[in-house]
Amino acid sequence: MYIPPINQVTDLGEIVDFIQRFSFGTIISVVNGRQVATHLPFISHLNNNKIVLRAHFAKANEQWKHLEAQESLVIFQEPHAYISPKYYEKEQNVPTWNYMTVHLYGQARLIETLEETKAILEESINFFEQEYKKQWDGLSEAYKLNMMQGIVAFDMEISEIQAKKKISQNRSEKEKAQIAQALSQSTSTHEQLIGEYMKK
């Protein structure tokens, strides 16, 4: 990903916060010479200052069969906003787009045991909806086993991080304040989020 120095994010804590907040990512790998992508909810954590991702495929999605033989790319991208030149002090300007995204490269490891698969599912429950855990605990083991046999879980230790935050860093303080204020008042959730990050 092309990242001008002014837009590069290197703070690991900020990157992890972002991918945990916008956790529905896209995993991309190559199958028979062609890029293939699947959209998945990921859970993530730091292990010895390395990001580790966990998720699962439907077993019928054959992309999982190609994971361990190659490096994969996972993209997290959520908030973005059109930026009108009307907020700039000089008339000679053009529109642009503000956005934030993280690209993570790593080698996936398929989970082979039902015990570890169950642990990943329960970690996902605890992250996305803790209240569901009581209902999950009440499900029969036969039902859980049948469900787990239809998925393939994996984890991925990240070897390279590319993180970009393009939120008008190159504009004047007055322009940034005007843009952030306008976006914060938008009816678009994406624009509101970009405004929120700009104000930070």
Given a cut of 90, whether residue 53 has pLDDT beyond it is yes
pLDDT of amino acid 42: 98
Residue-wise pLDDT for 137-154, tens only, equals: 999 999 999 999 999 999
Given a cut of 90, whether residue 104 has pLDDT beyond it is yes
176: three-class secondary structure by DSSP:
helix
- Alpha-helical segments (H) within 11-140: 12-21, 114-128, 133-138
Q: What is the largest CA-CA distance in the chain?
A: 67
Q: What is the C-alpha separation between 136 and 64, in angstroms, rounded?
A: 26
pLDDT of amino acid 125: 95
CB 95 within 8 Å of CB 85: yes
pLDDT of amino acid 200: 87
pLDDT of amino acid 93: 87
pLDDT band, residue 91 (cuts 50/70/90):
confident
Given a cut of 90, whether residue 89 has pLDDT beyond it is no
> 26 pairs with which residues across the strands?
39, 75
60: three-class secondary structure by DSSP:
coil
| Cα separation values, 51 from 21, 37, 173, 181, Å | 15, 21, 34, 33
pLDDT band, residue 112 (cuts 50/70/90):
very high
Q: Tell me the mean pLDDT in the region 61-78.
A: 96
pLDDT of amino acid 145: 94
Q: What is the C-alpha separation between 69 and 40, in angstroms, rounded?
A: 20
CB 148 within 8 Å of CB 121: yes
For the chain, the average pLDDT equals 95
pLDDT of amino acid 182: 94
DSSP state of 8: B
Instruction: State the helix-helix crossing angle for 173-184 and 189-199, rounded to 10 degrees.
Output: 140
Give the angle 149-39-146 at the CA atoms, nearest 5°.
Answer: 10
Q: Tell me the mean pLDDT in the region 193-199.
A: 95
pLDDT of amino acid 92: 83
Residue-wise pLDDT for 6-38, tens only, equals: 999 999 999 999 999 999 999 999 999 999 999
